[in-house]
Structures are given as C-alpha cells and as structure tokens.
Homo-oligomer: A and B are copies of this chain.
Amino acid sequence: LIKQLRAIVGDAHVLVDADLRAPYETDWTRRFHGPASCVVRPASTDEVAAVVRACAAAGAPMVVQGGNTGLVGGGVPGGGEVLVSLTRLTRLEPVDDVAAQVTAGAGVTLEKLHQHARAAGLDFGVDLAARSAATVGGLVATNAGGIRVLRYGSMRAQVTGLEAVLADGTIVSRLTGLAKDNTGYDLTHLLTGSEGTLAIITRVRLRLVPLLPARAVALVALADTDAALALLATARDGLPTLSAAEVFYADGLRLVREHAGLPAPFSEPYPVYVVLECAARTDPTDALLETLAASDAVVDATVASDATGRTRLWTFRETHTEAISAAGVPVKLDVCVPLRALPSLVRDLPATITAVSPAARPIVFGHLAEGNLHVNVLGAEDVSTEVTDAVLRLVAAHHGSVSSEHGIGRAKVAWLGLSRSPVEIATMRRIKDSLDPAGLLNPGVLLPSGSSGAAR
C-alpha cells in the first residue's frame, strides 16, 4: 500500500518515519494521540480519490486531517490508520463577485480565505481564534461556529456546495453554488458536520458577505448571566449591525490577565463580562453607545472604535483558550442549551464539577447568543471522564447538546446518547453503512467503532 500511495502523491508526501509522522499524530491540545501507519499528503481531489481507492482495495482504514486544530480528537488516529492530510489542497479560485462566492480547496486556511475575500471587497462570515491554522475542509466537516454565528450562522450557512471523495473513491462534485437547487437529497448538508465519516471533503464553494469596514466593540460588565441575556435582548432588538456577543466570567479574566500580562479593563472586578461587536458600512459607535445607555443591565462598559482599541477588548475574550492551555491540560467541553436555560446551567456548573473533583478549576466562556458555553476544567485531568460525564449529564438535563460546535470526534462518542435518541443513532448508523459499508473512513469517530460494516 505504501508503495501505491508513493506512486500517487510522490515519495516526499508519504511520511512513514515516526519523527515525520509525529506532528500529525497528536492534536494541539495534547489530549489525543495515536500512531498512523503512514501520513499521506495528496495535492488534488484526483489524488485523494486515488489514495482512497488504494486504501479501500487494501481494506486500510483512513483518518482525515485538516489543520489539526480540532478539539475532540476527530482528526488524529485511533491507531494504525492511513492519515490523509489535506493541507496541500490550497487552491483558492478567484472571487465570483456577481454571485459573491468563492471555491476553495479543503486545505486553505481560514485566514487565507479572509485575506482573499477582503482583497475582492468582500468578507467571509465565519471567524474563530484558530484562523491561522484551521482549514476550510475541517471547518465544513465539523460545521464550525465561532464568533460571528449570531450574524451569519455556522459554516453550514456559508456552504453552497462541495466536492468530496466517497469511501469507494468516487467523486461527488457540486460547486456551481446555485442559490436554490431542490433536486434531491442535499448531500452538501449531509456531509457538513459529518466529521469525515461519510466522505473526504476536498473542495468547498462558499458564500461571501459584505465587507463591513466600520466596527465598534464594547466590553460590558454585568452582575450575572440573567443580566447578560437582558443586554443581549436589548442589543438584538436595537442594533441590526450586531455581529458578535461573547460572554466570559471573572475567573477567566483573571487567568487571561495573568497569562498575557494585561491590565484590568475596569477599576474593579465584576462577575460577568460581555463583548459586543457591531459591524457596518458607517460607524456604528453611536448606536452601540445608545444601546448600552438604554440597558438597565449594564454595570460598566468601555467602547472602542479604532482597530487597536477593538483588538485590546477582544483580547480578553480570545486569549481564553491559549491561557487555559498554558495553565494545564484542561478537560474541554463545548455545550449548548436553550437560551432561557443558560443562567441555570452557569449557576449549577461549579457545584456539579467540584462534587466530582473538589480541586478542579472550571473556566467558562462562550457565545452568548446561541447559549453556547465552552466549559474548560483545569486540575481534573485524572478524573476527566467523571467530570465530562457530570457536566454533560447536567447539560442534557437542561435539554442541551453535548457538543455545540466542536463535534463528537473520539472525545464525546460515549456521550452521544445524551443528545441523540437510540432511533437517531440507529438512523445515523444506517446512513454510515450505506455510504461506507466497510467502515474505512474515520473509524471510531462520531459513531462507536464496530457500529458499521462487518461488525453489524
């Protein structure tokens, strides 16, 4: 097989030595790692198709990897798979300015996509902190979210078509980017968020949004999560230009400030902080200030309209992931509850976690408008399963999702049943078996291994 793979992609792009494989075999959080039989780096859809055909003929399972910025172990080997890295699929076509769309290879980074869209006077609707390494293929395969979902939706809402290689090596291609197309099952939507278990996405057609040069950011201090939701309601109602609403808490701010050596944003600490961003063609600062003045929920606030000031305020929120990683190997959870359940979840979390692990240090932050919290627990590495179980059961009791934007990967397979019914899981298995009967694509990711193909 190695010989065949070398013939397809060239000797330099089949990595067999342990040293060369290593960067691909561990995720960046250092929580997930496994040996690959080799790493293969195709440079085109046709090469991916040939790789898949060779692996299928050899009965060799594959794991698919983009920028390796995933947080649930979905892109690292379980053990012994051929690791298909898509980072060489970097072709970025010219922006179609009539349709306001662009076609990008799976290996194009989010940052490159942003630069490309902006050079054409447009913008891309999804943004997140891992932008310099995260690839569009991975973002689509995991239906990534990020900080602008409030305005533009998740990756799913940006994808107008895609090209992918099925488990038998055939290619489905749908890149015309039609605004409406009701001609049968929407394979694009089925593959979006399927985490590489149904096909390998090699190219995507993406919707672009207007470039909004005028931005204003507010960092707002509040008494509690209820007050944050009241502010959100006021902002959504009064600010059509609202494009982000992020929440974090006192202990997260303290950790970020220690890690990055930042001054305090306010003269005294407060329990809850919300970052609001408005984006428009003309300066939205006045409207933002008026909305803040009109909200009874605001305890203190600081607003920045210039680029430096905006970055300074965003840093308090965006440094959370990095500061937490620097403090240890966290148990990382990413949950979503109906908005009205959010205050209750935030209230119940600390006791739920310390009941399992008294010394644990939970840091919570997230995307307020979607009820999406990133729950990071430091000092609980040795009881990570127990902490995960306790938090996710609490989330399920609030009718929430055990994975809001990170996906299931390997990390959450055991808890899938908290969010999906046995009928839903059985239905997913049927679909998986119909498209990948031998279970060669990302085995052990999303669905329990042994659930597909011969094992049934």
Contacts and interface: CB of A to CB of B under 8 A. Distances in A.
Given A99-B340, A190-B190, A171 B423 contact: yes
A170 interface: yes
Contacts of A407: 182
A179 B336 contact: yes
A43 B436 CA distance: 38
Contact of A419 (B183, B367, B371): B183
Interface residues of A, number: 78
A13 B370 CA distance: 42
A130 to B, nearest CB: 16
Contacts of A400: 176, 178
A404 B181 contact: yes
Interface string A208-237: 001000000000000000000100010001
Given A172-B423, A370-B180, A405-B180, A339 B186 contact: no
A142 B182 CA distance: 7
A338 B176 CA distance: 7
Given A157-B157, A190-B189, A435-B430, A408 B182 contact: yes
Contact of A401 (B178, B189, B367): B178
A180 B154 contact: yes
Contacts of A340: 96, 98-99
A175 B173 CA distance: 32
Contact of A185 (B145, B172, B190): B190
A407 B180 CA distance: 10
Interface of A: 96, 98-99, 142-143, 145, 149, 153-154, 156-157, 166, 170-174, 176-187, 189-190, 192-194, 198, 210, 229, 233, 237, 240, 336-340, 367, 369-372, 399-408, 412, 416, 419-421, 423-425, 427-428, 430-435, 446-447
27 contacts: A96-B338, A96-B340, A154-B180, A157-B157, A170-B423, A178-B370, A178-B371, A179-B336, A179-B369, A179-B371, A180-B367, A180-B370, A180-B404, A181-B403, A182-B406, A183-B401, A183-B403, A183-B408, A183-B420, A184-B424, A184-B446, A185-B190, A185-B194, A189-B189, A430-B434, A431-B435, A434-B434
